[in-house]
Amino acid sequence: MDSALSDPHNASAETGGPANGTTRPPSTPEGIALAYGSLLLMALLPIFFGALRSVRCARGKNPSDMPETITSRDAARFPIIASCTLLGLYLFFKVYFPNKSYTGSVLKTWKTQKSKKGKTAAIQNPTTRDNHRFPFEIFSQEYINLLLSMYFFVLGILALSHTISPFMNKFFPVNFPNRQYQLLFTQGSGENKEEIINYEFDTKDLVCLGLSSIVGVWYLLRKHWIANNLFGLAFSLNGVELLHLNNVSTGCILLGGLFIYDVFWVFGTNVMVTVAKSFEAPIKLVFPQDLLEKGLEADNFAMLGLGDIVIPDLGLAIEMQ
């Protein structure tokens, strides 16, 4: 839902570039065509495979494998909850994480005042110190993004493991020692015992989880665009597979609300742009427009939000019921 931010890394070129006056060279037509063609292909892959796997889940007899159904009430609430979350992130980054250069100038001014007037002046004027120095030092943007990265690291390896599991099963030998496991959490005892978590898995699932963890560590350490796309494709495929709309009217409510959400937050304000530039998470697919010039180290990206892939294609689930 943030596809309007197609070239976030071109901001320096549009605003005059760095202080030394250099700007990013414009992308070649071949690079642009390759980038947007690749984004289109990556958007179609989770739709196709997610739809196929959704059909299998709908035909399955195991209730635990049935997709989650979105009701009309859920569809009406979703744009409101998304707006509150987006605005909260915007205020969080904007208020508590001022620009580093700005904070540095404030601290420099405070130290200058302290050196000229002594400790008494510093105690008499604590506002500058409390309002600018402490929030930046305690709630650093880097630490918050690290926390979010760890959160998406866990979600990403689980989603990627679930995604590659059917493909990996074809490569295991027939005599592979596959053992069954069950993770069970219950609450209460006797007749009042209630299952909270009941998850069954096997050795093959553990192997897939290990391979997915390698990708997760790669993303956590390097934030490489390929690792980001692997997680993004996994999130998209799982979203198409595991989410269903109960009827057409629910889809109209959801898409209508998100249409207003997109128009307001993307085109009417700078909230989406600010959050997208501050928020480091695999919630989008990216592809470099300068791949032909710089190879895998390219850094001029075109971008497509995962919401633009998953949300419009939830209507496919209606035909599968």
Burial, 284: exposed, middle or buried (Cβ in 10 Å; 0-12, 13-18, 19+)? buried
Active site residue 7: no
- Is-contact 319 60, C-beta < 8 A? no
- Is-contact 32 298, C-beta < 8 A? no
pLDDT of residue 24: 64
Active site residue 65: no
Query: Which among 2, 262, 290, 313 is annotated as catalytic?
Result: 262
Measured CA angle at 217 (ends 216, 220), to 5 deg: 85
Q: How many Å apart are CA 129 and CA 52, to the nearest integer?
A: 58
Q: Residue 64 corresponds to which amino acid? A: S
pLDDT of residue 293: 86
Q: What is the DSSP string of 23-79?
A: -PPPPPHHHHHHHHHHHHHHHHHHHHHHHHHHHHHHH-S-GGGSPEEEPHHHHHHHH
Q: How many Å apart are CA 110 and CA 17, to the nearest integer?
A: 30
Whole-prediction pTM: 0.73
Q: Where are the beta strands (DSSP E) in the chain?
A: 68-70, 180-187, 194-202, 243-245, 284-288, 301-305
Residue 188: DSSP 8-state: S
What pLDDT tens digit does each residue of the chain (321 aa) get? Answer: 444 444 444 443 333 344 444 456 677 889 999 999 999 999 999 888 888 887 777 666 555 555 677 888 888 999 999 999 889 888 877 765 554 444 444 444 444 454 445 544 444 444 444 444 444 444 566 777 788 888 899 999 999 999 999 888 888 888 888 899 988 888 888 778 888 888 888 999 999 999 999 999 999 888 899 999 999 999 999 988 888 777 788 888 888 898 899 899 988 888 888 887 777 788 889 999 989 888 888 888 888 888 888 887 776 555 545
Q: Name 308's Cβ contacts closer than 8 Å, sequence gap at least 6.
A: 1, 2, 3, 43
Q: How many Å apart are CA 267 and CA 5, to the nearest integer?
A: 10
